[in-house]
Amino acid sequence: MSMVMDLGFPSFDYSTTTMTAASADEGCNWNTWSPVVDWKALSGDQEDFQNLIDSMMDENVVLHPIDQLEETEEEEEYNNLSPEYNMAEAEDSKGVRLIHLLTAAAEAVVGPNECRGLARVILVRLKELVSPTDGTNMERLAAYFTDALQALLDAASGGKHPLGVEHHRTDVLAAFQLLQDMSPYVKFGHFTANQAILEAVTHDRRVHIVDYDIMEGIQWAPLMQALASRKDGPPAPHLRITAVSRSGTGRRSFSAVQETGRRLANFAASIGKPFSFHQCRLDADETFRPSSLKLVRGEALVVNCMLHLPHFTHRAPDSIASFLSGARTLNPRLITLVEEETAPPSEGGFLGRFMDLLHHFSAIYDSLEAGFPMQWRARALVERVFLGPRIMGSLARMYRARETGEGCSWGQWMGAVGFHPVNISFANHCQAKLLLGLYNDGYRVEELTSNKLVLGWKLRRLLSASIWTSQDCDL
Amino acid sequence: MFHPKKASSMNSPMCDSGLVLTTDPKPRLRWTVELHERFVDAVTQLGGPDKATPKTIMRVMGVKGLTLYHLKSHLQKFRLGKQPHKDFNDHSIKDASSLELQRNNASSSGMMGRSMNEMQMEVNRRLHEQLEVQRHLQLRIEAHGKYMQTILEKACQTVLAGDNKSAAGPTLNFPTLQDLNMYGSSDHLHHQSMEMESFIDKKRSTPYTGKSPLVWADDLRLQELGTASCLDDQIGPLSVDRGSDIDSVSDIYETKPMLSGGHDHKKYDVKMDRPSPTPPRTVAISAGGMRSSPFG
């Protein structure tokens, strides 16, 4: 098979290897970026290729810097080193090898049709190497990415993209609980948004929140408590929540949301908080119609849009856009938006975003492991229920958007569409720092812009919470 | 800055350690200029009012007769900036207080000039606000935990009642804590599970009849631990002693029975009949490694 590919491959600094850009007019220039295999020989038939992959899989092959391709002597030397060193090195090198394979597969998937076969072979090999429940972080992560790429391939060659397994409810709950305990992921977004809401409605008697993805309603319990016990402003403000629901069954269906409403009402009653709950249905194509919302005069309208884990809203960017722009027409007092910090499509095309996504989830895996090194089963559960599907969905969305190459983060979109930023208060920032202090040291919070707080793990930004308003006057 | 109003009218006897205690029926410590200076020095040495604790201050100051009680209250005042001279913050009587300001500035160690004082006021204000935030955060996390509990309990009941019709998937796949390996080794778990089970049974009246009670106990345990960990971790940073040994949630999942038995504070009552969560200070955490609340 001929490997004619135009790879406008951007240069990345990923772990220990450097990939250089390939010039557009030279066919397949993989030789310059993959130090392990002599890709030039790839023009052979399937068998030869298989052998090549096999040689890559060989555990004795060690990665060396890009200019050294002949390494037999070094190999011998290497094998004489202590076993532990060997082990760690082997693990590291396996990790890097996996990355190479994944990148190669990703490239092949978005390449011309001839490369699909290559992609398939690589994915088969990957599947033999990794398992979603076994091995190191990198290996488990690679397993999910492999599955996601496989799904892309299947969809591209005419099959249907699998929507993902619907997990058993108890699994979901257990994973939800674990995710919240093991990392500040969930609470960071919720608490930051809540604090901003509290500050915006200090003098209001009636508050109306429109929630895009209410899930179990966990975000609102602390807000209710805070509203019920606030010292300044009118006491016992009435809280009204309208949850957006979708047609069909599943976690975001009408009945599930109804259940959440009941639970919230019980909770509100238990703390003596006046409360009412409504639903607002999305159209079949998940478009939001502002007219279907019931509004009351004199209430402070707040729009809440949580897009991060464990919310499963990565599948429908159009829906989100319709929601936010529809919200704008209602002139809300405040809009709270929490989203994942991943590279926008303009950077590096599909491959760039692929690497970025890999990096992103790698950081998440690391953060979970750092806090809970021994509880890998618990982490595996969270990975299976939340992270894996998210990887799958994000990749699918990236793949669909690969041609257009436009798009930006929701935060940028908000600014462009005409929302005004609202400053994050000292108290809010303080709260975030305190919250992170309850978890592992590696988490940090930074105030990226005056209206945006970002949660990061070590050097990687994970989540951002931003506050907006559509009203021109100052709050 | 924390000088007694009538600094000149000290006619109380001096004791051996050089401390001035009044002849009041209640023996109170007079914070003299020198003593306060030593205090501020010690606090600065320890890294500021946030990092310093009464115990460490006591050690650093090395003043005989000075008790933790004295230091606790003085440190609290220092942090909150609650000076006896309240008129510092009142701009309308600037003239009257400026004299006092000067006097106090001259005698406070390192504080010279009005701007420094203002800076310190600002710092105190911020510290005060930070304390507020801490308090609120604790309450909110509590509410969060309470709510989480209702979700899990509901789920328990539904599944217990034999309602397995939610979604595809194999038979009841409820991951027990053994599966999740939450406690590391299995005998660890066994020991803990026995303790926790008795704890659960004692505290709850939810009926578990037959049908693998261990599974539900596990789950509620998980919940208990999850929320308990939040609260316990909260007490850590809020406490005056910064040398906290509980600073990550992981400790909860790995340590042993520190959460069992000693918990006599039932924060998450099943019936939720408490109208509002209790403030942190009344939560009695008697489990190992916990220090007393800083608020009194």
pLDDT tens digits for range B146-174: 999 888 888 777 777 765 444 433 333 34
Which of the four pLDDT bands, split at 50, 70 and 90, describes residue A428? very high
A217 or B260, greater pLDDT: A217
**B123, B134, B137: best to mutate for the A interface, most A CBs within 10 A:** B137
For A223, name the nearest residue in chain B, comparing CA atoms only: B140
Query: CA angle B161-A245-A453, nearest 5°?
Result: 105
* B137, B181, B223 member nearest A177 (Cβ): B223
What is the rounded average pLDDT of the residues A445-473? 87
The residue with greater pLDDT, B242 or B67, is B67
pLDDT of residue A8: 42
Closest Cβ–Cβ partner in B146, B219, B250 for A372: B250
Q: Kindly determine whether residue B229 and residue A181, on different chains, have CB atoms separated by under 8 Å.
A: yes
In A174-296, the DSSP E strands lie at: 206-211, 238-245, 275-281
Strand-pair partners of A208: A240, A301
Task: For residue B201, name the pLDDT band (cuts at 50, 70, 90).
Answer: very low
Q: What is the pLDDT of residues B89-118, one digit of tens each?
A: 444 444 444 455 555 545 554 555 678 888
| pLDDT for the residue B158 | 74
Q: Phi, psi at residue A276, to the nearest 5°?
A: -145, 155
Residue A194, Cβ neighbours under 10 Å: how many?
25
Mean pLDDT computed over A367-388? 86
pLDDT above 90: residue A284 = no
Contact A266 B130 (CB under 8 A): no
- Mean pLDDT (whole number) for A371-396: 85
- Rounded CA separation A217/A243 (Å): 9
Cβ pairs A/B, distance under 8 A: 162
Give residue A121's Cα distance to chain centre: 27
DSSP class of residue A27 equals S
**A-interface mutation test, from B133, B211, B246, most A Cβ less than 10 A away:** B133
Residues of A in contact with B182 (CB under 8 A): 375, 377-378
What's the confidence (pLDDT) of residue A336?
92
Residue of B173, B250, B256 to mutate, testing the A interface (most A Cβ within 10 Å of its Cβ): B250
Residue of A nearest to B273 (CA): A270
In contact, A309 and A293? CB cutoff 8 Å: no
Q: What pLDDT score was predicted for residue B226?
A: 41
Which pairs from B127-130 meet CB under 8 Å and 24+ separation?
B127/B49, B127/B50, B127/B79, B127/B80, B127/B81, B128/B79, B128/B80, B128/B81, B129/A426, B129/A427, B129/A430, B130/A430
Mean pLDDT, chain A, as a whole number? 77
- Cβ distance A182 to B249 less than 8 Å, yes or no, reads yes
- Contact: B219, A375; criterion CB under 8 Å: no
**A238 secondary structure, DSSP code:** E
- Give the distance from residue B250's alpha carbon to the nearest chain A alpha carbon, in angstroms: 6
Does the pLDDT at position A117 exceed 50? yes
For residue A223, the distance in angstroms to the closest alpha carbon of chain B comes to 7
Distance CA A464, CA A189 (A): 8
Residues 356-415 (A) with a CB less than 8 A from some CB of B:
371-378, 381
Chain A residues in contact with B236 by the CB 8 A cut-off are 438
Do A222 and B233 count as a contact with CB atoms less than 8 A apart?
no
Q: How far is Cα B237 from Cα A431, in angstroms, rounded to an integer?
A: 12
Q: Is pLDDT of A144 > 50? A: yes
Q: Which of A165, A267, A427 sits opposite B133 (nearest CB)?
A: A427
Q: Do A168 and B184 touch (CB under 8 A)?
A: no
Say if A185 is an interface residue toward chain B (CB within 8 Å).
no
- Cβ–Cβ of B167/A166 closer than 8 Å? yes
More confident residue, A345 or A318: A318
CB spacing of B142 vs A225 below 8 angstroms: yes
Q: Give me the pLDDT at residue A383, please.
A: 87
Cα–Cα dist B14/A273, whole Å: 57
pLDDT at residue B280 greater than cutoff 70: no
pTM (2 d.p.): 0.60
**Residue with more model confidence, B268 or A200:** A200
Are B140 and A427 in contact (CB < 8 Å)?
A: no
Is the predicted pLDDT of residue A221 greater than 90, yes or no?
yes
**β-bridge pairing A275-281 and A238-245:** parallel
Return the pLDDT at A347: 65
Question: Using a CB-CB distance cutoff of 8 angstroms, which residues of chain B are in contact with residue A267?
Answer: 146-147, 150, 272
How close A130 comes to chain B (CA, Å)? Answer: 20
| Residue from B51, B123, B134, B140 whose CB has the most chain A CBs within 10 Å, to mutate | B140
Handedness of CA B79, B84, B85, B86 (dihedral sign): positive
β-partners of residue A304 are: A211, A336
pLDDT of A25 over the 90 cut: no
Q: What kind and span of H or E run contains A263? A: helix A254-270
- B150 by DSSP, 3-state: which? helix
The enclosing H or E element of B140 equals helix B114-160
Round to whole Å and give the CA distance between B182 and B190: 12
A16 touches chain B (CB under 8 A): no
Q: Would you state the structure tokens that stand for residue A354, as one six-digit string? A: 């692929």
**B186 Cβ contact list (under 8 Å, min separation 6):** B178
Contact A439 B144 (CB under 8 A): no
